[in-house]
Amino acid sequence: MRIDLHTHSSVSDGTDDPRTLVRKAAEAGLDVVALTDHDTAEGWSEATAVAAEVGITLVRGMEISTRLGAAGVHLLAYLPDPTYAPLAAALDKILDGRNSRVPAICAKLGELGFEITAADVRRGAAAAAATGRPHVADVMIAAGMVATRDEAFERFLNPGRPAYVNRYAVPLAEAIALVSASGGVGVIAHPWGRGRSRVLSEDTLADLRDQGLVGLEVDHQDHSPEARDALRAIARNLDLVVTGSSDHHGTGKIDHELGCNTTAPEEYERLLDLAAQAAAASGRPAPGVFA
């Protein structure tokens, strides 16, 4: 069984629409794929419709923008109920922050001499419920200002670069609680990617586990072999589920091909069991996987 639990479609900052993404996942030989767009469940119904046709199991998920102190942390939520009002309200607030940030980034780029409007970005991100910096990068590429999304982030859009603008993210512990109360489970995405090892220490992860966190995404392209070994040991100590995934973004991110990292079947089964328990405890209907 080949299981990839983290992918993005054009509903957020991936480049394939949900149907195409699921089709490509089946073609790549995956048996299970999770659609985890940033902060939205918009792509679920399209993805579900095609999963049956191509014979792949679809896990409904999303990657929620959270913060721990000043640090941004991504929380993968599996099988949450997005109609649970407190979760829906938190996601709306994040999406509002994403939308209002776009004109602010454009204004900063304008000061640097680049004429890009929020309308240009909106047009390019036509299918996206969640707009992000990658959509700004795509307009910059089209205008010939940069060659790749990577270059746009490194020169302009990353924290500390001249067109960076912060946005709202839900406090991590609150996001974990919302996901659990909605009947789903939370797994921290790329916990030690991009310098986060200083923030997410074993002690902090132990506290988060006590607050309902169920797993860590250990096998991810942002982690060195040493980081993976250390995170695997922490997961074992804390009895957290270990996942692995591609974080595929279509052509939007290099070196993140579908299935480049995978989740062990026994870890996947544990995740589903924990989600079923969360759904039972919440009294909410579990959206379930679509096989």
User: Residue 124 is inside which H or E element, if any?
Assistant: helix 118-124
Q: Is 201 exposed, middle or buried (0-12, 13-18, 19+ CB in 10 A)?
A: exposed
60 contact choice in ligand AMP, Fe ion, Zn ion, none (CB below 5 to 8 Å, kind-dependent):
none
Report how far residue 256's alpha carbon sits from residue 259's, in angstroms, rounded to the nearest whole number. 8
Comparison of 253 and 270: residue with beta carbon closer to Fe ion: 253
Grouping H, G, I as helix, E, B as strand and the rest as coil, residue 166 is coil
Q: Please tell me the distance from the alpha carbon of residue 137 to that of residue 130, in angstroms, as a whole number.
A: 15
- Contact positions with Fe ion (CB under 5 A) in 240-259: 247
Q: Does 13 engage in binding with Zn ion (CB under 5 A)?
A: yes
DSSP state of 223: S
Which DSSP symbol is given to 249? B
| Residue type, position 168, single letter | Y
* Options 3-11, 80-88, 95-103, 228-236: segment touching Zn ion (CB under 5 A): 3-11
In angstroms, rounded to a whole number, what is the distance separating the alpha carbons of residues 183 and 79?
A: 7
Comparison of 223 and 249: residue with beta carbon closer to ligand AMP: 249
**Residue nearer to ligand AMP on the CB measure, 130 or 286:** 130
Specify the stretch interacting with Fe ion by CB under 5 A; choose among 166-174, 175-183, 189-197, 227-235: 189-197
**Min separation Cβ 140 and ligand AMP, Å:** 12
| Minimum CB distance to ligand AMP smaller for 31 or for 151 | 151
Q: Is 6 in the site for ligand AMP (CB under 6 A)?
A: no
Give 8 or 101: the residue with its C-beta nearer to Zn ion: 8
Residue bearing tokens 């200002």: 145
Site for ligand AMP in 230-259 (CB under 6 A): 249, 252-253
Query: Which positions touch Zn ion (CB under 5 A)?
Result: 8, 13
